Structure 1
Amino acid sequence: MSLNPRRYDVRELRRLAGTRGGVDEAARERRPRRPNGSRAEQAARSAAFTELLRRQRGLRHDRDGERPYLRTIPGGTAAEREIGDWIGYLVDVGGHLRSRDALSYYAELGWIDPDVAAALKRRIPGFDAPRYDRPFTPADHRISLVSIVRIVSCASEQ
């Protein structure tokens, strides 16, 4: 039998040791610290926006920074991989219907051209059923914006 000090009842040990103060006056023990998911999320978000800014500065189109950011679907394997990753992410998180709605929303915002949205919507049925199927959060939309800029940067690198 191994002894695990984390399983000791500190109040009972203090009472057995005869320390001053009763059980009620004993200092409260801290719970073990759990990893802070919000810090990791903040770091990932910060890295994504840093990449977004870096890629926007590196775009070589005549109309840098103007909307819609994604006017056409670029050719090439890098762009296809980025598009597949992005649409896969949308479907995995929000499902097929929410992904179509999100693409329409991005077209309304001016992030993507309506023709691009229509072309991307036609790709959605090719992805498997979602794992999570939840409504999109603002963080999901930020990830989409970063993905859009990645796709645009694939076009500018050609």
Structure 2
Amino acid sequence: MYLDPDDYDAHELRRIARDTQRSRDRTNGHLEDRSPFRFDNPLFDKGRRPASEALRSSQLEQLLLHQSRGEDDSVTKPYLKSLPDKYGAERVVFDWLEFLVLKGGFKRAMDALQYYQTVGWLTDDVEERLRDYLLGFSAEVEDPTELDVDDHLLSLVYVARLASMV
């Protein structure tokens, strides 16, 4: 039976692989899990990157795609002069702000927006609107951490994505 990996999530594929291997082992009288997809398999870990690194790599590729799609090479600051009025754009805004709050907490998210305005990624009006959206977030983060360079690069991807929707 052929399984198309695109039809399943990663956990489901791992379960299928384990079940297949276990059924093979039962025919030989063995019950141990010899799945090549188990987490402690050194062959599986060789080319594996942490999920956060893979996500950031994917986001940076998207940033390059957004940049290469521009018809003219005159990308100027501020990159995001206004927030798009589309539902999809609002979803991107909420995802971005949720990322900032869950990673760094409410105060650091506010500081990040101010920083992005200072370096010219956002206009004053966009920063103000984003702060208004941010006031709607009430989640307390147990262990907030400082935002690092990768987090700011991911924010730049969100800015580019929103700028492409205007």
Length-normalised TM-score, structure 2: 0.65
* 1:122 pairs with 2:132: yes
Counterpart selection for 1:105 from 115, 118, 132: 115
Return the offset for 1:32. 6.8
The answer on 1:134 being equivalent to 2:139 is no
The Cα of 1:118 is off from its aligned counterpart by 1.3
- Consecutive unaligned residues in structure 1, runs of 5 or more: 5-30
Q: Which residue of 1 aligns with 2:65?
A: 54
Match of 1:73 in 2: 83
Quote the offset at 1:82 in angstroms: 0.7
Gaps of at least 5 residues in structure 2 are 1-29, 33-39
- What do residues 63-99 of structure 1 show as CA deviations (whole Å, max 9, x unaligned)? 8421110011111111111111111111111111111
- What is the TM-score of this pair, normalised by structure 1? 0.68
Number of residue pairs the alignment of both structures matches: 129
Q: CA deviation at 1:143?
A: 0.8
User: After TM superposition, what 4+ stretches of structure 1 lie above 6 angstroms from structure 2?
Assistant: none
Give per-residue Cα distances to partners, 1:25-84, cap 9 Å, x unaligned: xxxxxx975958755444332221111011122246x78421110011111111111111
Give % identity: 34
**Cα displacement string for residues 82-137 of structure 1 (whole angstroms, at most 9, x for unaligned residues):** 11111111111111111110000001111111221111111112113243422111
Contact 2:60/2:154 (8 A) holds in 1:
no
Contact 2:80 2:123 in 1 (8 A): yes
Distance 1:133 1:39 in 2: 20
Which position in structure 2 is the counterpart of 1:92? 102
Whole-angstrom distance in 1 between the partners of 2:113 and 2:155: 10
1:82 aligns to what?
A: 92
Q: How far apart are the structure 2 equivalents of 1:64 and 1:77?
A: 28
Please, which of 142, 153, 157 is the counterpart of residue 164 of structure 2?
153
